[in-house]
Every structure is written in C-alpha cells, then in structure tokens.
Amino acid sequence: MSTAAVRPRPGRHPVEIGRPDKELFGEGGVTKRELAEHYRAVAPMMLPHVRDRPLALHRFPDGIFADGGAGFFQKQLPAHAPDWIGGVQVHREQGGDITMAVCDDTACLLWLADQAVITPHPWLSRTGALEHPDRVIVDLDPAGDDFALVREAAADVRAGLEEAGLAVFVMTTGSRGLHVVAPLRPELHFDEVRKFARRLADAVAARRPDAYTTEFRKDKRRGRLFLDVLRNAYAQHAVAPYAVRALPEAPVAVPLEWEELEGIASARNWTVRTLGERLERAHAAGGDAWHGMARHARSPRKAVERLAKLERRSR
C-alpha cells in the first residue's frame, strides 16, 4: 500500500497518508492527498474554531459515492488513534460516557484526513464547559436552490441578533445554505440558549411568514426557507469553517465578510481545488473574516433580556 508523509511543520508529528492517490470524490476527483493538503493549508484559520471541542467525525473510507453516499459518523475516538490525538469524555443523553476526539493542532487534522474524515463537526461548546455553548447558530436551510432568498434570510437573522446585542458572523456551508453565528460568553446552559435561538427565529419568521418558517416537519414548510436552530443543543454539532463537504467537486464551508455576501451565488462557491487564491489573500491579510471571533463574544443573559424587551414592545 502506498503512503505519503505529510509534515505539519518542522518538529511536529509526521503523518503518513495511506493510499494518498485514492480518489474520494469519484473518478478524477479530489484525492486523499489533496484532502490532507487542504486541511494543512486551512489549519491556521480553522483550528481556532475546532480546538478544545469534541468532534463528530464524518468518515467516507471508500469515497463519497460508496454505500449510497452516506458515509458514517464516528463519535467515539478510535482505539487505534495515536496517543498525541486529544480526547474528552462526554456524557451521552441516552446514557453512558464516550471519549470523543479533540483536534488541537495541524497534525490532528492531517490524521483525520488519513482516516477519510471528510467533514469534522465540532460541538458548540468547549471541553471545560460542555453544557454551556460559546456560540449560537442559525442554519439557513432553503427548500430549493434559491440562494437569493438565503442571502435575504441571513440579513434578517443578522438584524435580529444585532438587535439582541450580539456580534454576528456568516459562513457558506459548502452545501445549500448559510450559517449565521454569534459568539457567546459561556454563561447559559444549552437549553436556555436554544430557547433564545428559537424565540429569535420565530420573530424573524413572523416578519416574513410567506418566505421563512421554523417548522421542523418538511411537509409543513410549504417551500419556505427553514430557520434551523436545532444545532443549539447539548451534543449537537455543526460543520466547521473550512470543512470539506461530501459532495461532488469537494465544496468547502467558507467564512465571509458581510460585504461579500451579495456577490455569492451559491453555498458551494469554493471547492478544495479553487480555494487557494482566497487562502493566499487571507494569509497575506493576517486572517480571514472570522479572525478573532472569540474576542467579540457577548453575554447571552443580556441578549435574552434584550429580546424579551423587543418582544414586549412589538405586542
């Protein structure tokens, strides 16, 4: 079996990429070597958003088209993981504890690529406060491919979060929609943050009931864009910035400046093979659109209070 050594940087753990020329995205598609090189290139901008968080690992050992294209989620840290791969014990809601992977450095990202982890999904909380999230996410999930409506929804959700006093960021998901994200101080339990997110989404949907919905059941959405807040719960997870998606051409989830959004025509705007120029600009600028996000974390307690005041005012 062929291997290729990919070194994160001098002095760090070398990672052997097994079968580096294996095409994970179909014939002529991105190879395992390219996947590893992608994660090495994005590591400086990606790691601040996955470090110190439990990771759910979406693996595709035989490529994205094998076995119906679903791959599988692995939450338990594999027993064969090197001892330098971090882990954290978490309690499962269905009972019992498991140890999940924690990825704190580039070598870990490369090892995950070797394991055919195409998409790492971090929790919304960190290892020191697993039940208290440090970000809230509204996932904009369109019924079809109307990305203009997704952009409009992002602006409306942004306005709602900013009215509640939060700093707001946006990212393409690499699939169909956008994630609108606000960093939080880890003050409140997931249950309280999820209630806040649902109330805010309901308020946004109420302003345009013909276009948006918070209805979970697809048969009740009637073609409207779903303002999804279900990720704001204990043990739930969301696609990481710069994660590759298990879709043809290997699209990538990419943080945006708000000013860029109007010019984006699709959540799959960048792929592993087309992201390079954007990365070069971000490195030259000293960071990307989400650089320093954690410094903008604000109090969810105060956000809940502001939202309550806004709700009373609108009655």
pLDDT in tens, the chain (315 residues): 456 655 555 347 889 999 999 999 999 999 999 999 999 999 999 999 999 999 999 999 999 998 788 899 999 999 999 999 999 999 998 889 999 999 999 999 999 999 999 999 999 999 999 999 999 999 999 998 899 999 999 999 999 999 999 999 999 999 999 999 999 999 999 999 999 999 999 999 999 999 999 999 999 999 999 999 999 999 999 999 999 999 999 999 999 999 999 999 999 999 999 999 999 999 999 999 999 999 999 999 999 999 999 888 877
SS (H, E, C) the chain: CCEEEECCCCCCCCEEEECCCCECCCCCCCEHHHHHHHHHHHHHHHHHHHCCCEEEEEECCCCCCHHHHCCEEECCCCCCCCCCCEEEEEECCCCCEEEEEECCCHHHHHHHHHCCEEEEEEECCCHHHCCCCCEEEEEEECCCCCHHHHHHHHHHHHHHHHHCCCCCEEEECCCCCEEEEEEECCCCCHHHHHHHHHHHHHHHHHHCCCCEECCCCHHHCCCCEEEECCCCCCCCECCCCCCECCCCCCEECCEECHHHHHHCCCCCCCECCCCHHHHHHHHHHCCCCCCCHHHHCECHHHHHHHHHHHHHHHC
- The model's pTM is 0.95
